[in-house]
Amino acid sequence: MSSNYKQCTRCVLDTTVKDIKFDADGVCHYCHEYDNLASKTVLRPKSVIDAELKATIEKIKNKGKRNKYDCIIGLSGGVDSTYLCLLAKRLDLRPLVVHFDNGWNSELAVKNIESVITKLGFDLFTYVINWNEFKDLQMAYLKASVVDIEVPTDSLISATLFKIARKKGIKYILSGTNIVTEGIVPNGWNYQDKTDLTNLTNIHNKYGKVKLRDFPKFGLFQRYIYLNFFRIESVPILNLIGYNKTKVKEEITQELNWRDYGGKHYESIFTRFYQGYILVQKFNIDKRRMHLATLICSGQTSRQEALHELSKPGYDLQMLSSDKDFVLKKFDISAAEFDAIMKTPPVEHAVFGTQWDPQYFKKYFYFTLLMKPILWLYNKLIPR
């Protein structure tokens, strides 16, 4: 371990985070940023949060009262999305549940999803992506050596939910994003703009081989249309209910026969392999640190408990071997090809351009100017 190594005295983030800074007490700036964010959101007075939750639910029900569904939920089978479904049932909402099948579901994830739908009686729509195209896109990200190989999945989930919401006339997407378990994400540990269509397209254009024909899109232009003309909103409702991960796991286990995967987002075999092996070996990133750091800051675990968790192996060796064989076979690449990719030095996402670069953003800027009078007229004719 480097002589310059240092770990936060409050959470478990350390100098493996390149930009980490510590105050005089040894507390990292990510802890302070979490506190600031929480004070403006989940730590507001309970009466204020409860009133916001009530108003949000009333708004969803009123907007959707003439529709078969009043909201849409993306269900992966993980903790957050599973609890979101249970919460919707308790709040007497009528969601269309959508599962994005990218070909990497674990057997347990399939069983958990079936159990949730059966127990709650919701309608399930499974969106199956074109595997050959999606495989090519994921391989492009692997070859590009960027840190966030999960962007294709995250981007396409958003695109799919908004596309289906528009088609079904649904105005609200319930999001499982929440501050108390996901509020801390160190810079460089993922790509923060998951809907950067420019970055995704440029990476695929350089390293991909298959034309992407069947993909829903959700970049700056699509977002503008969805939000302003179709008026579809994403609602992070878990920030309004006092979300506690341990209690939530107990509830969904008891009420929905849900079974744990042993890791955050491990319902996907690829995500498990990516977080447990690729990130650790190639990028020196142990995502357990940021997950545990968030739980410490939100008061859901102690630093001692987090350190004990980090002392355990992050990946069972037998599972690692099995997952690696499965991933390589599914990608149709040899161990030698994969090892060569792993040895390629990491590359910043920004190298491939972003939708915020002047040459790209200028098109969007002029587009919004052109749409401004049209949007004004639209809002006059059809008030929100």
Q: Report the distance separating Cα 194 and Cα 182, nearest Å.
A: 15
Q: What residues form DSSP beta bridges with 174? A: 73, 235
**Residue 257 near residue 234 (C-beta atoms within 8 A):** no
Percent of the chain with pLDDT over 90: 93
In Å, how far are 80, 115, 252, 286, 370 from 245, measured between CA atoms?
8, 20, 11, 20, 46
**Residue 212 near residue 133 (C-beta atoms within 8 A):** yes
**Residue 203 near residue 138 (C-beta atoms within 8 A):** no
pLDDT digits (tens, 9 = 90+) for 51-110: 999 999 999 999 999 999 999 999 999 999 999 999 999 999 999 999 999 999 989 999
DSSP structural state of residue 123: E
**Residue 209, pLDDT above cutoff 60:** yes
Side-chain half-sphere of 258: how many Cα atoms within 13 Å?
A: 28
Split at pLDDT 50, 70, 90, the class of 153 is very high
Count of beta carbons in the 10 Å neighbourhood of residue 322: 13
**Residue 65 near residue 59 (C-beta atoms within 8 A):** no
**What per-residue confidence (pLDDT) applies to 186?**
97
Question: Which residues contact residue 101 at a Cβ distance below 8 angstroms, ignoring those fewer than 6 apart?
Answer: 126, 127, 128, 129
What's the pTM?
0.94
**Residue 239 near residue 42 (C-beta atoms within 8 A):** yes
Element (H, E) at 95: strand 95-101
Query: How high does pLDDT run on average in the chain?
Result: 95
pLDDT digits (tens, 9 = 90+) for 110-138: 999 999 999 999 999 999 999 999 999 99
204 backbone φψ class: left, alpha, beta (φ>0; ψ -120 to 50): alpha
**Residue 188 near residue 19 (C-beta atoms within 8 A):** yes
- Helix-helix angle 197-207:131-144, to 10 degrees: 90
CA angle 317, 153, 81 (to 5 degrees): 85
Q: What mean pLDDT comes out for the span 165-190? A: 96
Q: Report the distance separating Cα 288 and Cα 1, nearest Å.
A: 19
The amino acid present at 174, given as its one-letter code, is: L
Structural domains in the chain, CATH included, are 46-284+316-352 (3.40.50.620)
DSSP structural state of residue 240: G
Question: Which residues contact residue 295 at a Cβ distance below 8 angstroms, ignoring those fewer than 6 apart?
Answer: 180, 181, 245, 301, 306
pLDDT digits (tens, 9 = 90+) for 313-369: 989 889 999 999 999 999 999 999 999 999 999 999 999 999 999 989 999 999 999
Burial of 336 (0-12, 13-18, 19+ CB in 10 A): exposed
**Residue 66 near residue 232 (C-beta atoms within 8 A):** no
